[in-house]
Amino acid sequence: MADGSGALLARTVGAIDEIDAEIWDRLANPPGAPFNPFVSHAFLSALEKSKSVAPEAGWAPMHLLLEDDGALVGAAPLYAKGHSQGEYIFDHHWADAYARAGGSYYPKLLSAAPFTPVEGPRLLAQSSAARAGLAAALRSICARMNASSAHVNFIGADDAAALEAADFLPRRGEQYHWFNRGYETFDEFLSALSSRKRKTIRRERKGALADGLTIKRLIGDEITEEHWNAFWLFYQDTGARKWGQPYLTRTFFRIIAETMADRLLLIVAEEDGRPVAGALNLIGGDALYGRYWGCLTDIPFLHFEICYYQAIDFAIERGLARVEAGAQGQHKIARGYEPVATHSAHWIANDSFRDAIARYLEAERDQTDMEIDALKAFTPFRKSD
């Protein structure tokens, strides 16, 4: 389909591989910007090739392209959704309310990195005019499809400004990130904490390895097929317990092991040489992103060690600015992770429903801001006089 927006032409394609990878990546990760792996062509392609993202999974790719005289000047990862799973910005109650009013909430449009609660560019463009064109095109496509809504999740400031200018409704959530304040070692980080919190973390780290476990950090080709097979069992166990069925297929991990090897960090715990727990991280330009964790045995504090403390160690060694350890989890605060706001934007086609959602979001934003301010008082850092 095509839709004109001034001198620009917007159209959609049904697969990321219909778009030249080099051109896409130049828009998604322009020179000078910190690399974000989750909007890279390789990551999105792996999701589609592995059928983790597919129409039959409720994710129909329809990536948005914006062209100026045939040249690609903007793009957005875009999906027609038949459900609200795998998004981490929760609108299930919106869908229920829409259905009770006699409407069909699905399909809806979603611009996001699938299954990934990580902030990054969604309106992939290097000019404000192109971002405005993409925002307008999202609304136009929503109308053409007779979709209930269009959602753009985990966005930065530039995208938020363009979307709010196009009358998308802003929404705030919260996560917990660890920030590297120039630490040279993990002990230097600990020295910034209160004495009681330092002792707690040291006790947890010692306790995680009390049964003779060894921890390995593996990157790229160091991750063998044996490690991947073990990790797949970890991932399946966690997925089955949390949401009933893991989102990603085994093929997805096989593909990224080939196409994104230098961006993968597997932290694995071994018992007598046998992997018993692990966490897969993606390495960005300025951040480490903890994404998938699982274990085959219940060992106190092992989750904290593998997912939080080892990640901090790695970030300090690499000079990364922060660690993003996934969605939710106030228990991260005691381990040095701080509450931060996340942002999304939402276009609601029906005026009456839009007004109701706008009122809801205004109250939610106030509550979220107050909660973040309150939680900051519980960080483990030493309080200055």
Whether residue 356 sits in one domain with residue 312: no
Whether residue 162 sits in one domain with residue 70: yes
C-alpha–C-alpha distance, residues 208 and 212, integer Å: 9
Q: Tell me if 256 is assigned to some domain.
A: yes
Residue 292 is part of a domain; what is its CATH number? Answer: 3.40.630.30
pLDDT score recorded for residue 261: 97
Q: Tell me if 106 is assigned to some domain.
A: yes
Whether residue 270 sits in one domain with residue 285: yes
pLDDT score recorded for residue 5: 46
Answer whether 66's CB lies under 8 Å from 74's CB.
Answer: yes
pLDDT score recorded for residue 219: 97
Please report, in tens digits, the pLDDT of each residue of the chain (385 residues total): 344 445 799 999 999 999 999 999 999 999 999 999 999 999 999 999 999 999 999 999 999 999 999 999 999 999 999 999 999 999 999 999 999 999 999 999 999 999 999 999 999 998 999 999 999 999 999 999 999 999 999 999 999 999 999 999 999 999 999 999 999 999 999 999 999 999 999 999 999 998 889 999 999 999 999 999 999 999 998 766 665 578 999 999 999 999 999 999 999 999 999 999 999 999 999 999 999 999 988 899 999 999 999 999 999 999 999 999 988 889 999 999 999 999 999 999 999 999 999 999 999 999 999 999 999 999 999 986 4
pLDDT score recorded for residue 242: 61
C-alpha–C-alpha distance, residues 171 and 186, integer Å: 35
Residue 247, both tokens = 């989102």
Whether residue 309 sits in one domain with residue 165: no
Whether residue 192 sits in one domain with residue 171: no
CB atoms within 10 A of CB 363: 9
Q: Tell me if 332 is assigned to some domain.
A: no
pLDDT score recorded for residue 211: 82
266: closest CA among 300, 237, 294? 294
pLDDT score recorded for residue 29: 94
Whether residue 140 sits in one domain with residue 238: no
Whether residue 199 sits in one domain with residue 163: no
Whether residue 30 sits in one domain with residue 170: yes
- Read off the pLDDT of residues 78-108 as tens digits, 9 standing for 90 and up: 999 999 999 999 999 999 999 999 999 999 9
Give the structural domain span for 295. 181-320
**Could you tell me how far CA 346 lies from the centroid of its own chain?**
17
Domain end residue (candidates: 320, 349, 366): 320
Q: Tell me if 382 is assigned to some domain.
A: no
pLDDT score recorded for residue 285: 97
pLDDT score recorded for residue 238: 75
pLDDT score recorded for residue 331: 93
Q: Tell me if 385 is assigned to some domain.
A: no
Beta strands across the sheet bearing 264-271: 59-61, 79-81, 108-111, 149-153, 338-348, 169-179, 322-327, 287-295, 274-283, 264-271, 214-219
Give the chain's largest Cα–Cα span. 66
pLDDT score recorded for residue 7: 75
Whether residue 68 sits in one domain with residue 164: yes
pLDDT score recorded for residue 1: 39
Q: Tell me if 44 is assigned to some domain.
A: yes
How many domains would you assign to the chain?
Answer: 2
Whether residue 269 sits in one domain with residue 291: yes
C-alpha–C-alpha distance, residues 338 and 189, integer Å: 14
Whether residue 251 sits in one domain with residue 127: no
Domain end residue (candidates: 291, 320, 349): 320
Q: Tell me if 326 is assigned to some domain.
A: no
Q: Tell me if 204 is assigned to some domain.
A: yes
Whether residue 124 sits in one domain with residue 195: no
**What is the residue-wise DSSP string for 92-128?**
HHHHHHHHHTT----SEEEES-TT------SSEESSH
